Amino acid sequence: MRITIVGCGSIGSKLAMAADEMEEVKSIYLIDSREGLAAELASKLNKAVEVEDVEEELYHCDLVVEAASQEAARTIIPKVVARGVDIMVMSVGALVDDAFRESVASKAKSCESRIFIPSGAVCGTDGLRSSSVGELEDVELITTKGPKSLTGVDYMIEKGIDVNSLSEPTVVFSGTAREAVSLFPRNINVAATVSLLGMGFDKTKVTIVVDPASKSNSHELRIKGEFGEMTCHTYNVPSPDNPKTSYLAAMSAISALKRIVRNEWIGI
Ligand SMILES: NC(=O)c1ccc[n+]([C@@H]2O[C@H](COP(=O)([O-])OP(=O)(O)OC[C@H]3O[C@@H](n4cnc5c(N)ncnc54)[C@H](O)[C@@H]3O)[C@@H](O)[C@H]2O)c1
């Protein structure tokens, strides 16, 4: 398999290093808008080369991985699926726009490409997927972050909340997943993933808590429905190179790639 990774930051670089070790992966094309980053990463790997543009490689690429930003995802997904190439999306928040999501899903269907969305930084998506076969009553995500994760977020500045001066755990947002994804575009991809699997962006409830004592991002996923009730806690370790990204997010991208290249479907 030949893969293109767009975004060689925290997730993309770990994924590229893992892909380099997978015997099923024959070639890795790396792209990053930061000058020199893709070339530097490629120089440390055996199967990787830097390329300029995702479209250039689509004729000889089997899978594109977007690990860049919501903006990049909005640009790349339509181009990739229109050429019948599969894509793995990490910036899941880009799919909050209903018209965009429906259009790329329909394009993917007609062009026979697949859109893969890893579970990312949260556990419990397996149970949510199964439980959504029946009726769901309530899906709620309570995310707790340390001040570092939310420093400089526009919404906090507009609300006059100085995350670094809070002395106790404080709820800074409570609303729908649609609002959360739009207001915290870099911080709450898991709300998008949970919404896509369960009750959608308008019925999924999200609460964001800033805990001055917390150095990590934790998620409590509460699901209630015909199946019963489930609560899943994830206490993440932040990536050393990007405190906004949980280490588990990169691990989930690596594990998703393994499942795809090895055709392994355990626990689906
Ligand atoms: N699904 C999840 O659970 C989950 C969890 C954490 C992060 N994420 C998301 O995954 C994405 C990557 O996260 P990260 O921690 O690796 O970020 P990062 O900032 O460490 O790396 C992103 C890289 O992408 C590059 N980039 C940005 N726009 C680009 C473009 N248009 N073309 C090419 N390169 C571009 C940047 O230069 C940077 O090197 C982010 O959107 C983040 O919000 C998702």
Q: Residue 89: is its pLDDT beyond 90?
A: yes
C-beta of 260 in contact with ligand 1 (< 6 A) = no
Of 76, 90, 241, 246, the residue with max ligand 1 atoms within 8 A of its CB, to mutate for a pocket test, comes to 90
Distances (CA, A) of 197 to 92, 112, 131, 169: 12, 21, 10, 29
236 or 150, greater pLDDT: 236
Q: Residue 221: is its pLDDT beyond 90?
A: yes
Per-residue model confidence (pLDDT) at position 31? 97
Q: What residue owns the CA closest to ligand 1's atom 3?
A: 120
Distances (CA, A) of 210 to 162, 224, 264: 11, 25, 38
Separation CA 60–CA 266 (nearest Å): 29
48-70 pLDDT per residue, tens: 999 999 988 888 899 999 999 99
Which of the four pLDDT bands, split at 50, 70 and 90, describes residue 215? confident
Choose the most confident range, by mean pLDDT, from 18-22, 144-148, 260-264. Answer: 18-22
- The CATH number of the domain covering residues in 125-235: 3.30.360.10
Per-residue model confidence (pLDDT) at position 242? 86
241-262 mean pLDDT: 94
Which of the four pLDDT bands, split at 50, 70 and 90, describes residue 7? very high
Separation CA 34–CA 126 (nearest Å): 35
Of 76-80, 213-217, 234-238, 260-264, the poorest mean pLDDT is in 213-217
Nearest to 198 by CA among 131, 147, 103, 112: 131
Nearest atom of ligand 1 to the alpha carbon of 239: 15
CATH T-level fold of 2-120+248-262: Rossmann fold (3.40.50)
- Scanning 67-188, the segments in alpha helix (DSSP H) are 70-82, 98-111, 125-131, 147-150, 154-158, 177-183
C-beta of 94 in contact with ligand 1 (< 6 A) = no
193 or 148, greater pLDDT: 193
C-beta of 190 in contact with ligand 1 (< 6 A) = yes
Which part of the chain is CATH 3.40.50.720? 2-120+248-262
Q: Residue 187: is its pLDDT beyond 80?
A: no
Q: Coil, strand, or helix at residue 159?
A: coil
Of 5, 69, 77, 190, the residue with max ligand 1 atoms within 8 A of its CB, to mutate for a pocket test, comes to 69
Average pLDDT of the chain to the nearest whole number: 95
C-beta of 146 in contact with ligand 1 (< 6 A) = no
Which part of the chain is CATH 3.30.360.10? 125-235
Q: Residue 109: is its pLDDT beyond 80?
A: yes
Nearest atom of ligand 1 to the alpha carbon of 31: 33
Which of the four pLDDT bands, split at 50, 70 and 90, describes residue 123? very high
Which residues are known to be catalytic? 219
Q: Residue 259: is its pLDDT beyond 80?
A: yes
C-beta of 188 in contact with ligand 1 (< 6 A) = no
Per-residue model confidence (pLDDT) at position 191? 96
C-beta of 149 in contact with ligand 1 (< 6 A) = no
Of 15-19, 98-102, 106-110, 186-190, the poorest mean pLDDT is in 186-190
Q: Give residue 180 CA to ligand 1 midpoint distance, Å.
A: 18
30-42 mean pLDDT: 97
C-beta of 57 in contact with ligand 1 (< 6 A) = no
136-164 pLDDT per residue, tens: 999 999 999 988 888 888 998 898 988 88
